[in-house]
Amino acid sequence: MKILALSLDQLTHLLETNYGKSRFHAQALYREIFKNANLKFLFVPEFAASQALARDLKKNICLEPGRIKKVFQDKDLTKFITRLSDGMDIESVIVPMNRYNTLCVSSQVGCRMGCAFCETGCMGLKRNLTVSEITGQLYNARHVLKKQIKNIVFMGMGEPFDNFEPVMAAVKIMNEQKGFDIALRHMTISTAGVVPGIRKLAAMNLAGIRLAISVNAPDNQTRSKLMPVNNAWSLETLKETLADFPLPRKGTFLFEYILIKGMNDSDAHADRLAEFIHPLPVRLNLIPCNPVPGLAHESPSDEEMNRFSQKLVEKNIFVIRRWSKGRSLSAGCGQLGRQ
């Protein structure tokens, strides 16, 4: 029984069919494993009268979060590499916020989106992650590395909507109150602009889950150069799709814009970006591009970034200028994949 891949409903169903037990035992199991990392549930009150069952479950439950192969630490920021059962590696990053941590999880080994500024994109797609390989990153961050994780962002290796079902199953498991208990409003799925994925998420009507879009250029010509995904779904299609997305009241999209010197950072780009954003409710993250070996992109100076940001602020765009946390660990945006 691969417990990290099971929602509480699925676990309940398994216990009912295989052992004739109810949700009461499923909840206790979920709590002990996901919240407390306790595999010895023999001593848990709910199993006091069912010792044979507890022993049997202990034998049959398989907890495979993946083995942490290496941990890199720089001040409060942590990047860890997980070795999967087939020998492939994935990377996850724990980013300290004010009072808690955000875990940036991977959804694929590599990525087939081919964004020009991205190290993961250079790897191509090796394979999709399974549900337990995604939830295993949270298990390891919490219970092996002992970090308080309150936020999840799907911004690690891979395009989450290119692995839609396992990602959404992982979201459900991470959200379960009896287990990891991460609120939907504390989860962000970041996409390069895979429109069918945005539509499918919209149809699920998951109140509160946040959607981030990696925009990176305000016109199709520049964006297609940087992000081949734009050839399949243009900026116009993307905008129409977002306009139909069921945001909660006062909800916003998170747009990410990686600034690359001489490519997408002129005044004209800022003006067009403001036009593209209007009237969508957006918080815009401006991120200087990270150096990636073998890729010739350069990040603009602070002064150039300020100018770009100012232009947007003047047009009433909510701008968050993000210093690239994690550069020294190759844990910044577009840098995962290099160990």
Q: Would you name the residues annotated as active-site residues?
A: 333
> x-or-dash pattern for ligand SF4, window 173-212, by CB under 6 A?
-------------------x--------------------
Q: Assign 322 to helix, strand or coil.
A: coil
Burial class (CB in 10 A: 0-12, 13-18, 19+), 48: exposed
- CB nearer to ligand SF4: give 19 or 228: 228
β-pairing, 101-104 with 67-74? unpaired
159 near ligand SF4, judged by CB under 6 A: yes
287 near ligand SF4, judged by CB under 6 A: no
Tell me the residue nearest to ligand SF4 as measured from the CB: 121
- Binding segment for ligand SF4 (CB under 6 A), chosen from 9-17, 70-78, 106-114, 180-188, is 106-114
- CB nearer to ligand SF4: give 66 or 121: 121
DSSP labels, 11-74? HHHHHHHHH---HHHHHHHHIIIIIT----GGGSGGGTT-HHHHHHHHHH-B----EEEEEEEE
Cα separation, 310 vs 292, whole angstroms: 27
Question: In the bound complex, what is the minimum distance in angstroms from residue 158's beta carbon to ligand SF4?
Answer: 6
Question: In the bound complex, what is the minimum distance in angstroms from residue 58's beta carbon to ligand SF4?
Answer: 38
105 near ligand SF4, judged by CB under 6 A: no
| Cβ-Cβ contacts under 8 Å for 9 (sequence gap 6 or more) | none
91 near ligand SF4, judged by CB under 6 A: no
- CB nearer to ligand SF4: give 115 or 174: 115
Question: In the bound complex, what is the minimum distance in angstroms from residue 333's beta carbon to ligand SF4?
Answer: 7
Quick one: tokens of 229? 């995904």
Kindly tell me which residue out of 120, 132, 309, 335 binds ligand SF4, with binding defined by CB under 6 A: 120
334 near ligand SF4, judged by CB under 6 A: yes
Question: In the bound complex, what is the minimum distance in angstroms from residue 263's beta carbon to ligand SF4?
Answer: 15
116 near ligand SF4, judged by CB under 6 A: no
Quick one: tokens of 87? 């020998």
Kindly tell me which residue out of 5, 54, 77, 115 binds ligand SF4, with binding defined by CB under 6 A: 115
- The single residue listed with the structure tokens 């206790």 is 28
Kindly tell me which residue out of 6, 26, 104, 113 binds ligand SF4, with binding defined by CB under 6 A: 113
- 285-297: buried (b, 16+ CB within 10 Å) or exposed (e) per residue? bbbbbbbbeebeb
Cα separation, 116 vs 223, whole angstroms: 10
Residues that contact ligand SF4, how many (by CB under 6 A): 13
- Whether the Cβ atoms of residue 187 and residue 209 lie closer than 8 Å to each other: yes
